[in-house]
């Protein structure tokens, strides 16, 4: 099953993205993955909002009876940059958090933008 939601470039949309992912996981009986899923999609959305000016973004959740995959689509073809961790800094930890809360993650460029994706660990 795959569901997606198009969201405008507003700070409040990050909360809508988190709620969307949580509701899909709950509906599909994947409640044990909600915390990780909400953390991952929140980081993905905030990264896109900060680094990729766009008219809108697409958040997708895909579950085929196996792994749960989250996707964040934006209009920039530039891959996310994984910065060295600065524990005292206020920024630069997003991709590290995505890696920590997912089993695997990646990015694929799809004209005119990209899709950052993550597979959640099984609960």
DSSP bridge pairs for 113:
110
- Average pLDDT (1-6) is 97
pLDDT band at 1 (very low <50, low <70, confident <90, very high): very high
Domain ranges in the chain are 2-119
Residue 43: per-residue pLDDT: 94
Under a CB-based contact definition with an 8 Å cutoff, are residues 96 and 82 in contact? yes
Q: Which two tokens stand for residue 10?
A: 């507003």
- Which residues in 95-113 are b (16+ Cβ under 10 Å) and which e? beebeebbeebeeeeeeeb
Percent of the chain beyond pLDDT 90?
A: 75
Instruction: Tell me the per-residue pLDDT of 55-98, one tens digit each, with 9 for 90 and over.
Output: 999 999 999 888 999 999 999 999 987 777 766 666 666 788 99
Phi-psi region of 65 (alpha: psi -120 to 50; beta: other; left: phi over 0): left
- Average pLDDT (40-61) is 94
- The domain defined by 2-119 folds into Heat Shock Protein 90 (3.30.565)
């Amino acid at each position: 099953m795959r569901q997606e939601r198009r969201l405008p470039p507003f700070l409040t949309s990050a909360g809508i993205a988190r709620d969307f992912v949580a509701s899909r996981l709950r509906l599909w009986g994947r409640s044990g993955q909600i915390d990780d899923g909400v953390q991952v999609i929140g980081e993905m959305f905030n990264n896109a909002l900060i680094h990729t000016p766009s008219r809108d973004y697409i958040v997708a959740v895909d579950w085929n009876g196996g792994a749960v995959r989250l996707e964040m689509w934006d209009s920039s073809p530039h891959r996310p940059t994984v910065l060295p961790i600065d524990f005292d800094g206020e920024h630069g930890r997003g991709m590290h958090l995505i890696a920590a809360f997912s089993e695997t993650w990646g990015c694929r460029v799809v004209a005119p933008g990209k899709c950052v994706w993550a597979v959640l660990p099984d609960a």
